Amino acid sequence: MLLAATAYEKPTVANNNQQFTIVIFGASGDLSRRKLTPALFHLHSIGALPERCRFIAFARSEYDDQTYRKLLFDVASDSYGADATKWVEFAKEIRYITGSSNDLESLRHLDEMIKSDTAGQLEDNRLYYLALSPTLYEGTISALSEAGMLDERQGVRRLVVEKPFGTDLESARILNENIHARAAENQLFRIDHYLGKDTVQNLIVFRFGNTIFEPLWNRNYIDHVQISVLEDLDVGDRAAYYEHSGVLRDMFQSHILQLLALVAMEPPATNDADSLRDEKAKVLSATRKPNPQQAAENSIRGQYNGYRELDGVSPASATATYAALRLYVDNWRWQGVPFFLRSGKALRRKYTEIAIQFRQPPHRIFDVEDASGLVPNKLRIVVQPDEAIHLTIDNKRPGPELRPQAQELSYEFPMGMRDAYERLLLDAVAGDASLFTRADEIELSWAVIDPYVNAWETELASQLYPYAQGTWGPIAADQFIAPGRYWSNPIG
Ligand code: BG6
């Protein structure tokens, strides 16, 4: 049964009468050209950004404004071409500056340019987006600080930082410490683009806007939780990065643990950024940190066939492109409930789902011969590609006998969902940090993931299972979740 979908709402204007300058460092890179600029264009064309919003693209490559604008257009002509007039209006607000983001002279030049643009105006608000290699974060932030460009006396100065934030707990701690020496936590917006996805935000509304699920959302009624982030794409041209990162650092530390935190957290007192992030942090800190033996027993890892032949990958590479973990959240609500998390590259389909598997009814009164007759309730929250919520319930099978049959109640989200980056850019401009990860969350997430990364480097590690591309990953993953439990794969 399909419930009716409501139309997608246009975002509201962030703060219309503000003056804002958005600077993208690393503007000639892929993220900027493929994701950020199309997102900004769309926000601009629907009037969701402040009216006096200017864009400065900053990178090392030598371009002039015209060449850079053309480059942008060519990369995402699908996004811009449909509305040529709006593109022209938007493009004329983009200026390009050649420079190094950690070089004081280049930054001073940038600063002068923004100041002369905003001269005579009351405010000079800025958003610096670091679409840079993580190795440049510290140098850039320190140079910005030295140039006085993080000083908030003339207007806000916000920093948006992409993932990965550190490569383990220790490096994340050091990075946080060094950044905090130059910028306050409330100036920092650490991106986890999964939090910008509509269905992910819906988890908050779904859990805390309804009364019917919350009383069941605990160890008394839930058998286990599954979070699957499956990708059909392989590592593509990012092999050199991926070889050092692997699936745990690339997907689990950030996206998957954020999903887990939203599923498992207690109701926050309000929906302001800190209440929400406090609750997520509590879940992460209650998530069990296994010793090496336990970490090895509660995980399996795989690598797709063909990965070792890629450029930048060692022929004997032990990097996992697939992982499944069994985690426990040690608190009253979740004691003893396993959270099965999995993610992998080069799988059959792109599919992200959170599945809440409820327990069997305590006593069966029906005679059921075939196993499909009586299934425990399952709630599936599909994050992508087709956002939906499905609830499996048992109903009477039509006919003379009193026999149950499993059916699904479904709600499919309307089409036209915008890219996660739009939501996040808009929030960063508005100064709403709810959908950005705080320093403690980042460190707590590394503290959860590090034991698995480390265990896999010891002799305790289970075998690295090869799997064929286009499958659901290693067969061993099915044994890992068994007995009596099965991965919730999409049909087809
Ligand atoms: C990124 C990872 O953070 O997320 C990539 O580095 C991954 O490896 C991507 O492909 C997945 O994002 P999405 O939105 O396509 O699910």
Specify the 3-state DSSP secondary structure of 247: helix
DSSP string, 155-210: S-EEEEEPSP--SSHHHHHHHHHHHHTTS-GGGEEE--GGGGSHHHHHHHHHHHS-
Q: Is the CB of 231 under 6 A from ligand 1?
A: yes
Residue spans of the chain under pLDDT 50? 2-5, 7-8, 13
Structure tokens at 447: 């503290």
255 flagged as catalytic: yes
Separation between Cα atoms, residue 467 and residue 26, nearest integer Å = 36
Phi, psi of 72 (to 5 degrees): -60, -45
Q: What is the pLDDT of residue 7?
A: 47
Question: 140-151 pLDDT, tens per residue?
Answer: 999 999 999 999
Task: Give 229 Cα–ligand 1 centroid separation in angstroms.
Answer: 9
Separation between Cα atoms, residue 293 and residue 80, nearest integer Å = 53
Q: What is the pLDDT of residue 381?
A: 96
Q: E strand or H helix at 66, and its extent?
A: helix 65-75
Beta bridge partners of 225: 339, 356
Ligand 1 atom closest to 231 (CA):
10
Q: Is the CB of 419 under 6 A from ligand 1?
A: no
Structure tokens at 161: 């930082």
Ligand 1 atom closest to 245 (CA):
6
Q: Which residues contact 445 (CB under 8 A, 6 or more apart)?
A: 253, 254, 257, 258, 284, 437
Ligand 1 atom closest to 242 (CA):
8
Q: What is the pLDDT of residue 368?
A: 66
Between the CA of residue 49 and those of 18, 42, 72, 154, 425, what are the distances in Å?
A: 9, 10, 19, 20, 9
Give the HSE-up count for residue 179: Cα atoms under 13 Å, Cβ half-sphere: 28
Separation between Cα atoms, residue 325 and residue 299, nearest integer Å = 4
| Nearest protein CA to atom 8 of ligand 1, as residue | 250
pTM: 0.94
Specify the 3-state DSSP secondary structure of 243: helix
Q: Which of the listed CATH numbers 3.50.50.60, 3.40.50.2020, 3.40.50.720, 3.40.50.2300 matches domain 16-162?
A: 3.40.50.720
Domain with CATH 3.40.50.720 in the chain: 16-162
Q: Is the dihedral of CA 307, 310, 316, 322 positive or negative?
A: negative
Ligand 1 atom closest to 255 (CA):
3
Probe ligand 1: pick from 162, 193, 319, max atoms within 8 Å of CB?
193
Domain with CATH 3.30.360.10 in the chain: 195-481
Separation between Cα atoms, residue 181 and residue 440, nearest integer Å = 16
The CATH architecture one would assign to domain 195-481 is 2-Layer Sandwich (3.30)
Separation between Cα atoms, residue 309 and residue 183, nearest integer Å = 43
Task: Give 165 Cα–ligand 1 centroid separation in angstroms.
Answer: 15
User: Active site residue: 44, 255, 363, 390, which one?
Assistant: 255
Task: Give 163 Cα–ligand 1 centroid separation in angstroms.
Answer: 10
Listed in sequence order, the DSSP H helices in 52-103 are 65-75, 77-81, 84-91
Q: Is the CB of 250 under 6 A from ligand 1?
A: yes
Q: Is the CB of 162 under 6 A from ligand 1?
A: no
Task: Give 242 Cα–ligand 1 centroid separation in angstroms.
Answer: 12
Q: Pick the closest to residue 354 from 269, 228, 180 (CA basis).
A: 228
